[in-house]
Amino acid sequence: MKGSIRGGHNYGVPGAIGIIDEVKEDRKYYPFVISNLVREGFNIKDVTPNRTSTTGQDLSYGVSKCNDFGSDFFISCHLNSYNGSARGCEVLYHKSSSSGKKLAECIATEISKLGFPSRGDNRGAKADTRGLYELRHTKCTAVIVEPFFLDNLQDVEIYRRVGAQGIANAITNGVLKYYGKNPTYNSKKSTYSVNYCKEFQKFYNTVTQTRAPLIKDGIFGLRTESAFNTIKSLVLYNQYPTPYCKEFQKFYNTVTQTGSPIAEDNIAGNNTKQALNTIEKLIKGEY
């Protein structure tokens, strides 16, 4: 299953500011949504722009990347703002999309379990009435998630208690519920126990049998970055006696515990290339 996830707005076109800042906070929680879903076996593309000059460029960037990727679903991660008294979660979907409505309802239900109201005052899953660009132009099931109001003290206090990971876990659980899947991670602990960078360092030392092994400290420094680039070259070139590509495929399947393992066939195809990109982001802490 393929999905595209983005953080709302960007540093050139900022979002709302209240008790907290929308761009600053959605940049904290949306990467956890990606890493959660990757761990659950989804093929996820980050379609978040870093900086654009206009709102139009911001919106078209994510939508075009999503459509080019052939996504099955799209989630745009935001925070809400109004008058300081409004509170609760809203998940918007296109008024003509039954799948969008279902996904929105699944996500809203899970977010409400954190303490954010999803009933009354026009909260919860909502059909878009404004003709929002992302919902009109994506070619797949699409929702815009507004977990809570950043200018409401009660909502912000709940957010500070559950954290970015708690928001991400709720969204993840909503997606899994939509697809009829159960989470394999411990959502109550709100974390994964794997230090991907440290696991990669172990893998690199073992598979290369290097005389200058990496320090297994879980820190993505210059030597670890160089080591990853070496592994990437070995996997993609794949002309050595040691089956580096196959060893990497085994490593990926083991360390991610993905529900959709890649073939351990020593062929550097598209799935293996995507796995390299995923591992790179995991060891850098970008998810």
Q: How would you label 42-72 residue by residue, b for 16+ Cβ within 10 Å and e otherwise?
A: bbbbbbbbeebeeeeebbbbbbebbbebebe
- For 155, 181, 185, 210, the CA distances from 40, given in Å and listed in that order, are 29, 9, 8, 33
Q: What is the pLDDT of residues 194-242, one digit of tens each?
A: 678 899 999 999 999 999 999 998 888 899 999 999 999 999 987 777 8
Nearest to 195 by CA among 215, 217, 214: 217
Compute how many other C-beta atoms are within 10 angstroms of the C-beta atom of residue 233. Answer: 11
- Which pairing describes strands 2-7 and 43-46: parallel, antiparallel, or unpaired? parallel
Give backbone dihedrals phi and psi of 46, rounded to 5 degrees, phi first: -85, 115
What is the residue extent of each domain of the chain? 2-178, 196-284
Q: What is the pTM of this model?
A: 0.69
- The domain 2-178 is placed in CATH, from the list 3.40.640.10, 3.40.50.280, 3.40.630.40, 3.40.50.10490, at 3.40.630.40
Q: pLDDT grade, residue 281 (50/70/90)?
A: confident
Q: What is the pLDDT of residue 287?
A: 56
CA angle 28, 9, 275 (to 5 degrees): 55
Token readout for 70 is 């052939």
Compute how many other C-beta atoms are within 10 angstroms of the C-beta atom of residue 271. Answer: 17
Q: What is the pLDDT of residue 17?
A: 96
Q: What is the pLDDT of residue 217?
A: 85
Compute how many other C-beta atoms are within 10 angstroms of the C-beta atom of residue 101. Answer: 19
Q: What is the pLDDT of residue 193?
A: 44
Is 138 within 8 Å of 66 (Cβ atoms)?
yes
Mean pLDDT of 83-88: 94
Q: What is the pLDDT of residues 9-58, one digit of tens each?
A: 999 999 999 999 999 999 999 999 998 999 898 999 999 998 999 999 99
Q: What is the pLDDT of residues 93-116, one digit of tens each?
A: 999 999 999 999 999 999 999 999
Q: What is the pLDDT of residue 120?
A: 67
Q: How far apart are CA 115 and CA 257, in angstroms?
A: 31
- What is the Cα gyration radius of the chain? 20
pLDDT averaged over every residue in the chain:
91
**Following CA atoms 170, 175, 181, 182 in sequence, which dihedral angle do they give, to the nearest 10 degrees?**
-10
Query: Is the pLDDT reported for residue 186 higher than 70?
Result: no
Q: What is the pLDDT of residues 133-171, one digit of tens each?
A: 999 999 999 999 999 999 999 999 999 988 898 999 999
Q: What is the pLDDT of residue 89?
A: 96
What one-letter code names the amino acid at 186? N
pLDDT above 70 covers a percentage of the chain that reads: 93
Beta bridge partners of 77: 7, 145
Q: pLDDT grade, residue 259 (50/70/90)?
A: low
Q: What is the pLDDT of residue 194?
A: 60
Compute how many other C-beta atoms are within 10 angstroms of the C-beta atom of residue 36. Answer: 25
CA angle 251, 256, 261 (to 5 degrees): 75
Beta bridge partners of 63: none
Which has more confidence, 32 or 63? Answer: 63
